[in-house]
Amino acid sequence: MSFSSLVQDLSFRDNANERRAVNRGNSSASTMDDRRSQVSRAMSYASTTATSVSISGDISSQLHGGYCHPLARSWQAERQLTKSMLIFPLFVSDIDDEEVSIPSLPDQHRRGINKLVPYLEPLVRKGLKSVILFGVPMAAGAKDALGTAADDPKGPVIAAIRLLRQRFPQLFIVADVCLCEYTSHGHCGILKDDGSLNNALSVDRISDVAIAYAQAGAHCVAPSDMNDGRIRAIKLKLIEEGIAHRVVLMSYAAKFSGCLYGPFRDAAGSVPSFGDRKCYQLPPGGRGLARRAIRRDIDEGADVIMVKPASQYLDIISDAKDIGRDMPIAAYQVSGEFAMIHAGAKAGVFDLKTMALESTEGILRAGATIVVSYFTPQFLDWLES
């Protein structure tokens, strides 16, 4: 019963009572007082009834109104995806005219230097802000124990940095820094005789490679090798070279070992020839270790902290945002995550776009402010609509 019909009903009953009272000889003044008090009680009753019928709790239980509209729903997010948050990974090979699709990484290609600009032109027009470059040496004899080709001035990464800086002056160029694409053994540094990483030599070599990329014009160098102490070494060399003021140092601080990198290794040709990377990448359960690595890399001079992979490590992204609350936090939605979303959509489990957006929203909600994503070309379209 609505409030107005309830009052009407009680008024009708009041009138009937009044008629009976007059018949019994009561005064009309006391009847009017009685009627006013009945209406007042009705209002109070109606209010109490409506509240208790429609709300089974206090007023704070009523939330639906706050997100009844699409715009109001978007206001619920602490941060919303924008084009500026996205970094797009590119695989650049030393075969200049190559454009080869990567079977395990849907819609992604390995490209030679001559194919980069035609591919990127429409994306830059749509608002692509940043790319991260991974070099893929394909030439026979390009790999050796020291990863010599990593900073070859004619190699694919340095050539691509120079070309993209010239052709797309507004595009922010990140250079991934590691040796595993360039070493004959496929590990992320220089090895000792027993097959373990020689940390001192690896750090020295990797910091040289980072400086070469920075001097070629990279806006940002991003060491992904996980050798201890490489952030400090790179920062010091950037200072020594007088270029620390114009280069962002993005640390893959919390990079976990696991099975989500398979398609990337197909793309980059960086599968280790023996063993695995479990002694330098973090163990999946190592939350405390990740926090220590994040703290260390901040102390060593990192400007941006990255967590990789993303969706399986949302707690680590949240930790990174907590520890590095004054820093940008990047998350890399890696090749295996991307391939899984494609596979799920292909199997009819969910819609590709909906899951791409939902997974990215989860990454942002956890605390990331930068997302390295193979979905970047689609996001440039999706964010327009």
**Which positions are catalytic?**
255, 308
**Which pair of structure tokens corresponds to residue 105?**
């990484």
Binding of Zn ion by 380 (CB under 5 A): no
H or E, element range at 24 = helix 3-24
Q: What is the closest distance, in whole angstroms, from the C-beta atom of residue 72 to Zn ion in the complex?
A: 44
Binding residues with Zn ion: total (CB under 5 A)? 3
* Of residues 193-232, those binding Zn ion (CB under 5 A): none
Residues 6+ apart with CB under 8 A from 226: 188, 252, 255, 277, 280, 281, 282
Restricted to residues 310-349, the positions that interact with Zn ion (CB under 5 A) are: none
335 is in an annotated binding site: yes
Bridge partners of 331?
A: 307, 371
Alpha helices in 127-180 (DSSP H): 156-167
By CB under 5 A, residue 188 contacts Zn ion: yes
178 assigned ligand-binding residue:
yes
* CA 115 – CA 129 distance, rounded (Å): 19
128, 180, 216, 231: residue in contact with Zn ion (rule CB under 5 A): 180
Query: Quick one: 180 or 190, whose CB is closer to Zn ion?
Result: 180
374 marked as part of a ligand binding site:
yes
**Residue 259 marked ligand-binding:** no
Give alpha helix (H) positions in the chain. 3-24, 28-54, 70-74, 113-126, 156-167, 199-216, 230-240, 262-268, 287-299, 314-323, 335-346, 352-366, 376-382
The pair phi, psi for residue 88, each rounded to 5°, is -105, 120
- Nearest-approach distance from CB 209 to Zn ion, in angstroms: 11
Q: How far is the CB of 225 from Zn ion (least distance, A)?
A: 5
Token reading at 35 = 């009627």
> Is there binding between residue 158 and Zn ion (CB under 5 A)?
no
Site string for Zn ion, 268-307 (x = CB under 5 A): ----------------------------------------
265 annotated ligand-binding residue: yes
Of 90, 132, 177, 178, the residue at the interface with Zn ion (CB under 5 A) is 178
For residues 337 and 309, the answer to whether their CB atoms sit within 8 Å is: yes
> Shortest distance, CB of residue 61 to Zn ion, whole angstroms?
51
CA distances to 182, 185, 190, 235 from 146, rounded to whole Å, are 8, 10, 6, 22
Question: Residue 152: what residue type?
Answer: D
3-state secondary structure of 85: helix
Cβ closer to Zn ion: 178 or 234? 178
From the list 163-171, 177-185, 316-324, 329-337, the region that binds Zn ion by CB under 5 A is 177-185
Compute CA distances 85 → 10, 331, 363, whole Å: 62, 10, 12
Q: How far is the CB of 268 from Zn ion (least distance, A)?
A: 9
Residue 188, marked binder = yes
Residues that bind Zn ion (CB under 5 A): 178, 180, 188
> Which residues carry a binding-site annotation for 5-aminolevulinate?
265, 277, 335, 374
Binding-site positions? 178, 180, 188, 265, 277, 335, 374
